[in-house]
Chains A and B, each alone.
Chain A
């Protein structure tokens, strides 16, 4: 798609020298590549101590006794603190939200007190002058455990014979949602064919380059807690830390400089992070916690781990009549705080079948407790499951009636001219482009030629497959996500833009940067909205003392929400500047514009006054300005979409792969994505976000799996045994765009960060089943390991 197509009709783009729609290099790139990033992991403060945690080796046990005496005597040890001692400064929490009706969880403490509920839960904190000495002393802490039966199999978690993890809750059911729309029973009864399958999704996690890291500094003199943390949501951390440490919000400052990757892992409140805040307050000195890799595997939120039964009703003419699903997921012993662990299942219910026209849809989702690490929101929450189930069923239906997978989608995807409309679960779609996206994808991959090649190779015993996966994606969430449920998680964002005395611009935004390019797109939008060159714009983010209040960067929201706030604040400042310029130039503001760092005559382009000169007058010679004119060289604007609960996007992916039926190995040969995120602010950043997302989806499809044994032990908590996707196994990923800007904002941008992950695994699974179709084999389980493939083929 050409640049003009992508940004057609965009007001900001009509201005000269716009950066919107251009692949502008990220302003933070040189700094990061030169090793001058400011990651919390590198931060050193005077009097700082390091904490290492004694973590439970058992999945479920009563803590009988803790002996810390030997550890306290170890070299370099400053303090050894138990969960009971820490509870004096940190109150427990319960991870529920009011709008998820019936969701329940038990009070969770920063460290275990009487009982541990998963392998890896922190039991004792050891603080020492270095992390190594703290780890030495951890080995000297003696904890006696009385083992309790562990609930590990989600399928039996609700059986009466299974022990209840939190007896006060009555059972192991955290949440259940039922939805019934249209006439499902009649549709299944009347349809020509009904196809069903059980889809199994392995538990996996997000592996960030920089682990979770916190430095907490309690300044007794100021009575203020400064938290340096790699987080996606600084204001949320501020609110939660204040609430549970008995502080007023203004007593907590959260600083978040560079963050080495997040993927949703760093948008939660972790018990060990809360413990670190509390330990700083208890010890009255800075405390640093940096999770190591083993800790990360055991405590960073896990995700997926769903078993979803699905049914589809289809007529022989290809018309899909109904979907029905029954989803089950195990979330660990607590619902995560404060966003809860019911969201993923809730999203599965919301999203299944959402790209298709059938109004008949029934769903049940059950969320159960188990003695494993907690699960919560990770990149593309619920989408990969919904997409794999929906698109897996659609392919099975197509095969049953002998129809090409493209054709059944053409017949059933919601028409591009049908908007606005709503899904059977009541999700409202402003405007989507399923058919245009499908058409573009088929062109990119040359579908017909690929099918011919597949047939040719199959005659030689080479089994290749094509898999399609169309999807819808939740982006730009408003208050409907968390705010309505009572969580103090902002859905609005704010941006302040300031013209400085030398004519440069400083911009403060409440969105955050974890490597995806938030700084870059903010600078692009501000430079374009204001009319200055991008090198004059400096973006400041990640400091609750400095930036406007806002949500941060998660749920594919930063560009769409924070970007619009940036555009509006820049335009407001431009208006302010033109007012002053008009007074200086004795002209009307409407006859002036700003371009290339100067106030210009828009018709001739003549430079009337440089911004640096204007700033000099404003700041140093205000006496020369007309009386009554008060220049305002700072503007702040906020934004949140309110017309739609979410800005839905859509897209479609395709996978082309080969299955070695002798070994069970899958070679990914090619992957294509077409997605519609509305206005594309920076094509390179969007494409790389999509590619990164695809790679994480491919990781789930083939490699990534947190493998627990029946006693609740995570057996592969290291980088040799937990297989992240790596470059050598990745296919080329071609990315195309269809552009349907949202009309809720002037910018028109929707989210793009999760689209890749949403559909990648579904495309691969469908391609594998396509490749194996001569064997009469259908596999609906990921990761698709050689063992799984060989078992299905009866060879291992």
Chain B
């Protein structure tokens, strides 16, 4: 028997595509955000509202990732924004190669912001860099306030946490301790920005929009 030291990074093929994407976006000074959450947290509703509310200020496009169907891309296109649907055929995350292909299909010259709506999954997508400028984790209050403690990776790596569906908190429909989530997330990630929002009613959305517009300004510099 003979042992051979290898010391080689795994998933380096993904990292190479991620780097290509990142370089392309940096050259074009475009902001690209990777949206990650459990299924049903309201990512698409959030994006559709963001695109509609900011349509006079920012030009946005979306890369949609789902196991099957182009339902989400159709919802985005209804706002007149361009959307490319990636059907992963069962894979639990988007890869940088898939995003690379999708970026070629988007009308990049006509966009300020590219959102990647990852496959609904709080675990796997956090392990695959796509070349984005930042990750945004969306957590809806119905999922419970223990998620940063249970799924630390995505909260440690995200620039922003959007706590969605806060309209469900009124009337005690759902028990959710925003303070606990904030403490747990900041323990992992001191600089994470936290915005409690309701994509349905629009509550809290202006703070998210301000952050988004500031990021676009910084990316253009």
A, B co-complexed: no
- The residues of A with any CB-CB pair to B shorter than 8 Å are none
